Amino acid sequence: MLDELEHIAPVYAVRGNRDWFHLRHLPDTRQLSFEGVPIVLTHGHGGWLKYLVDTYRTMRDGYRLERYLPSLQAAFPQARMIVFGHTHNALNLWSGGQLLFNPGSAHFPYNQNEAPSLGIITIEEGGKIKAELITLEQPVIATRPGS
């Protein structure tokens, strides 16, 4: 899919917690800058140990946003925007001068009661950020033309 998207526009991707074998060439984190805005892309699982602990806590207590945001912000204090995905829960939140943005999942929302979603980020000249969450009525399933 990344190769297909690359035909449309430049692609900046990071590896998620389930991508160790088929996307191992991707980094865990990317630090980018557009119009002078420092942006971090990260899946957000924070390594295997943190992933296992968070998985246990989520199974025990349910999803809690407050478990994820402080560690993301502490890991990337220089970023004005942190784009992450690990929780599959859509989020568009300014906190402590940072925009925390999770587009959710176009195919597999964590909470089955939530609609699939995606996000669009616009960075205007001068560094103004606009991030928008778009809810989809049906999951987006990638297919190759002719298949």
Please give the chain's pLDDT, 147 residues, in tens.
888 989 999 989 888 766 667 777 888 899 999 999 999 999 876 666 777 777 788 788 877 777 778 888 999 999 999 999 877 788 999 999 999 999 988 876 666 677 889 999 999 999 999 999 999 876 556 666 655
Alpha-carbon dihedral sign for residues 101, 10, 115, 23: negative
* 104 domain-assigned: yes
* 140 domain-assigned: no
* 145 domain-assigned: no
Among 105, 114, 113, 115, which Cα is nearest to 142's?
105
What is the pTM (predicted TM-score) of this model? Answer: 0.80
Residue-range definition of the domain harbouring residue 61:
2-135
* 129 domain-assigned: yes
For the chain, the domain total comes to 1
* 144 domain-assigned: no
The token duo for 23 is 């996307």
* 143 domain-assigned: no
